[in-house]
Amino acid sequence: MNIFDENFKEIFSAEIISVLGGLLAGTILAYHTDKLLFIPGMLILLPGFLEMRGNISGSLASRLSSGLFLGVIKPNQFKTKIIRGNLIASFLLVIFVSLTLGLLAYLFNYIIFKVSIPKIILLALIAGIIANIIEVILTLFFTFYLFRKGYDPNNIMGPFLTTTGDITSILALLIALVIV
């Protein structure tokens, strides 16, 4: 008799990967804290920005997974109207949320510290787009891959995307710092 069913094994392994990835993301963040916190307002921007990635990619993976289980999306077709619509929605959400986070960080800096740094708005937007491109590719590939291999993407993709979202967000912020 097996105490642990397949769902438990999938969820448990995804959570272990999430913890290890979280440690990696925290290490990267700790190593580059001097660069990120050099810009006033990054402490305001960072928590929301890190949270945004997992939420947007997680909901995309959930919609894709539901479509795959319902048969609305075929496991070998990436170029469909439903997938395109979800990708467009994902990018529109990233643009809107990134601009909002950037504006809030800018306004907080300006109102509280009397410091005007409009670059923080552009920084949030560029980093959001870079991170979203990476996360969308990971979301599409792994959701379809896991489904084709017989796993339930709903059990695995949440923790996986939260972790990869943290890592890609930090890396995207560092790249955006260089660009801006």
> What integer pLDDT is reported at residue 46 of this predicted model?
86
The Cα–Cα gap between 49 and 150 comes to: 33
Q: What tens-digit pLDDT sequence spans the chain (180 residues)?
A: 566 677 788 788 888 888 888 888 888 888 887 777 777 788 888 888 888 888 888 889 999 999 998 989 888 887 889 999 999 999 999 999 999 999 999 999 899 888 888 999 999 999 999 999 999 999 999 999 999 998 888 888 888 888 888 889 989 988 998 898
Q: Which pLDDT belongs to residue 39?
A: 77
Six token digits for residue 84: 């395109």
Which phi-psi region, left, alpha or beta, contains residue 62 (left: φ > 0; alpha: ψ -120 to 50)? alpha
In this prediction, residue 101 carries a pLDDT of: 93
pTM of the model: 0.86
Under 8 Å between Cβ of 120 and 154? no
**Domains detected in the chain:** 30-179 (1.10.357)
